[in-house]
Amino acid sequence: MEVQETKVKDLTIEQFKNLIRETVLNTLESYLVDQDEDLTIKEDVKQQLLAIQQRRKTRQTSLSATEVYDKLGIKD
């Protein structure tokens, strides 16, 4: 039985969104969970994700320069 590959250009917008959503979730899972050790998300990663979620709720989609400096350990 031959499997026909679908091209991105042939996807509907909803199919494309679902593809991206699934890809992101799979990628996050690979970073956050160690299947061999049955470990869950690291606390620092969890806090970063919660901060992103909070920024999205307040519609603050980008970091301020001060936040970037702090994250990179750069002093003014």
- 29 by Cβ neighbours in 10 Å (0-12 / 13-18 / 19+) ranks as exposed
For residues 46-66, average pLDDT: 77
39 has pLDDT over 80: no
Q: How far is CA 4 from CA 1, 7, 17, 27, 51, in A?
A: 10, 10, 21, 25, 41
46 lies in which domain range?
11-72
What is the domain count for the chain? 1
Reference 41, options 31, 27, 51; nearest CA is 31
pLDDT score recorded for residue 35: 60
Q: Tell me if 64 is assigned to some domain.
A: yes
- 29 compared with 39, residue with greater pLDDT: 29
Q: Tell me if 35 is assigned to some domain.
A: yes
Q: Tell me if 3 is assigned to some domain.
A: no
Q: Tell me if 6 is assigned to some domain.
A: no
Q: Tell me if 41 is assigned to some domain.
A: yes
pLDDT score recorded for residue 50: 83
Question: Which residues does residue 39 pair with via DSSP β-bridges, in sequence order?
Answer: 34
69 has pLDDT over 80: no
